[in-house]
Structure 1
Amino acid sequence: MAGRRAVRWHIGVFLAPAVLVYTAIMIVPLLGTLNLSLFARGEDGRVFVGLANFATLFGDPRWSGAFWNALGNNAWFFLIHMLVQNPVGVALAALLSSPRLRMAAFYRTAIFIPTILSFVIVGFVWKLILSPIWGIAPGMLDGIGLRSLFAPWLGREEYALTTLALISVWQFVGIPMMLIYAALLSIPDEVIEAAEIDGITGWSQFRKIKLPLILPAIGIISILTFVGNFNAFDLIYVSQGALAGPDFSTDILGTFLYRTFFGFQLQLGDPHMGAAIATAMFGIILLGVCVYLFGIQRRLRRYQF
């Protein structure tokens, strides 16, 4: 019939490869993890236990203490990134987007380079820098008269996690900087010119005009930071090992999952409890993403062009 719409079969053809790959490497392993968390080891092999593994994880003192400690450390790790990395990224983007700044391209490249470095390289290099025995940090502080402020930050429980979070901030601050920089460049010139005609320039222009217009980009960066930090593992493992010392003060959900699933030293691996931890991590991340999508993103849409 002439009035019927044509079937756009080509859309399915173009989407099929991406859907198949995503299903194979994401959906199938996720469903397998969820299924594994519902079983436990028995005398005759795997035994279906339902939600018993989650009851053990949240209620058994032998498991719940480690889980809540790792979750609290993850929350602190994320909070430092939100309070330090993202504001610094916004400030750097605002500075580098100024047409009066010379060598802006060089500065952008220099700040972004650490993001392409391996976690292994970053972890070991910073361990060497901060070492009280052969590190250069004590000498650098001594050179400016602040040697008394130096401490073995990675070896003290009260400082280790914050130190690692700041190292992570140093490595990844280039990502929010580049995203915000792109958002600033997308603001129409007419808007900026109108603001300048009205006498709004400098910091006042950024605060009143540019900042509201880049809020959607800041929201995206925030949710990416949340997902990335609650999936963190590499830097902690490289710097502090699977035990996340000292005394589990840097233990996060990723390292807790690793020890539980694969085992470490005298601890035997338990894939079923490890799958329960992975499922709990998925639930936490899913909850955070849903809060952003349905509670925050809708409010930010009014600032988009």
Structure 2
Amino acid sequence: MTASDAKPKKPFRWHIIVFLAPAVLVYTAIMIVPLFGTLQFSLFRNVSGDQTFVGLGNFRTLFGDPNWSKGFWNALGNNVWFFIIHMLVQNPIGIMLAALLSSPKLRFSSFYRTAIFIPTILSFVIVGFAWKLILSPIWRVAPNLLDLVGLKNLFTPWLGKEEYALTALSLISVWQFVGIPMMLIYAALLSIPDEVIEAAECDGVTGMSQFWKIKLPLILPAIGIISVLTFVANFNAFDLIYSAQGALAGPNYSTDILGTYLYRAFFGFQLQVGDRNMGATIATMMFLIILAGVCLYLFLIQTRLRRYKF
């Protein structure tokens, strides 16, 4: 074999590095560096004005000291309930809306998609403040609307009662973000080849039966992605609770989630003095919870859903 027969060496594609470098640098500066800084803070404690390495001492304090553990477990439990409501209400409604809007017989489907998706681009502050006014018994917007349909007796100050406040805020979040799973599932439904639908119709599988037997199994990978995105977003939630209920996440911490608990621990609030090391410890626990959930999806669920991909 002569040198002339050897395959020419491919030139290194420098333009890839040039185009990726800005994004990598920005992501590293605002995500990776703060992440490692947070992990570092969680292993130290302020002793006489100096940062002293304590290893897992802050984590033992978080789980063993009642002053910290009670608030943490309360926030974690509320976060789990916040996530469950989104999984059981938001995502099924999004799938149902996507199935309806993907029907070629439906008129003005573009208008409906736009109207449902618009709340997702609204500010958390606007959504939280607006719904707080709507549900306020002083402004009487919700009581008057319920009175129009004869259901005024069902009204109660949901955001002011411990047993209803978190569920009410979860449903407000569902109203705001139901457009995201709707659009993702809608795109997945449109990606199903026409040949598959035509073959199902030739076999007499139409309507809802076609959706349950043909379309739903084919969009399971998209549903899995939506589920993990919902998990990550819910365990990173903060803005809506803060804008509607404040940093104390009232009433009586009934709407307190990990995000608001982290805020009070790190920055302090009212009589509570901020402790950046304990705040970093809570943030690390949030990171580990999210990491565990994502890894569970990637290694146990996604591998089983690959069979449905085209």
Class of the TM-score when normalised by the shorter of the 2 chains? over 0.9
1:89 aligns with 2:102: no
Per-residue CA deviations over 1:61-115 (Å, capped at 9, x if unaligned) read 1100100000000000000000000000000000000000000000000000000
Find the partner of 1:38 among 34, 43, 49. 43
AA at the equivalent of 1:101: L
Percentage of pairs with the same residue: 77
Once residues 221 and 176 of structure 1 are traced to their aligned partners in structure 2, the CA distance between those partners, rounded to angstroms, is 6
The residue aligned with 1:288 is 293
Counterpart residue type for residue 264 of structure 1: F
Gaps of 5+ in 2: none
Q: Distance in 2 between matches of 1:71 and 1:104?
A: 39
Q: Secondary structure at the match of 1:40?
A: strand
Unmatched 5+ stretches in structure 1? none
* In structure 2, distance between residues paired with 1:127 and 1:40: 39
1:189 aligns with 2:189: no
* 2:21 counterpart of 1:16: yes
Letter in 1 for 2:194: D
Question: What residue is the counterpart of 1:26 in the other structure?
Answer: 31
Distance 1:44 1:104 in 2: 62
Residue number in structure 2 paired with 1:56: 61
TM-fit CA distance, 1:59: 1.1
Counterpart check, 1:124 vs 2:129 = yes
What is the one-letter code of the residue matched to 2:72? Answer: F
Question: Does residue 153 of structure 1 match 2:158?
Answer: yes
Distance 2:9 2:306 in 1: 31
Aligned to 1:169: 174
1:121-158 per-residue CA deviation (whole Å, 9 max, x = no partner) reads: 00011011101111311111122211111100000000
Cα distance in 1, alignment partners of residues 26 and 51 from structure 2: 30
| Shift of residue 16, structure 1, vs aligned partner | 2.6
SS, match of residue 248 in structure 2: coil
Among 117, 135, 139, which residue is 2:140 paired with?
135
Instruction: Determine the C-alpha separation between the residues in 1 that align with 2:225 and 2:49.
Output: 48
TM value normalised by structure 1: 0.97
Q: Paired residue for 2:10?
A: 6
Q: Counterpart of 1:102?
A: 107
Q: 1:37 to 1:171 in 2, by over 3 A?
A: same
Q: Report the equivalent of 1:304.
A: 309
Amino acid at match of 2:116: I
Distance 1:206 1:8, change over 3 A: farther
User: For structure 1, which segment, 194-203 or 4-13, has the greater mean C-alpha deviation from structure 2 after superposition?
Assistant: 4-13
Match of 2:205? 200
Paired letter, 2:24: V
Secondary structure of the residue aligned to 1:211 is helix
Q: Per-residue deviation at 1:14?
A: 3.3
Give, in whole Å, the separation in 2 of the partners of 1:83 and 1:143: 29
C-alpha distance in 1 between matches for 2:118 and 2:51: 47
State the distance in 2 between where 1:135 and 1:219 align: 40
For residue 6 of structure 1, report the CA deviation from its aligned partner: 2.9
Aligned counterparts of 2:196 and 2:235: Cα–Cα separation in 1? 38
Equivalent pairs, count: 305
Alpha-carbon spacing, 1:66–1:7, altered in 2? closer, same or farther (3 Å): farther
- 2:116 counterpart residue number: 111
1:242 to 2:221 alignment: no
- CA separation in 1, counterparts of 2:41 and 2:167? 34
SS at match of 2:201: helix
Measured in 1, the distance between the counterparts of 2:49 and 2:237 equals: 36
Query: 1:276 Cα shift?
Result: 0.3
Change (3 A) 1:60 1:192: same
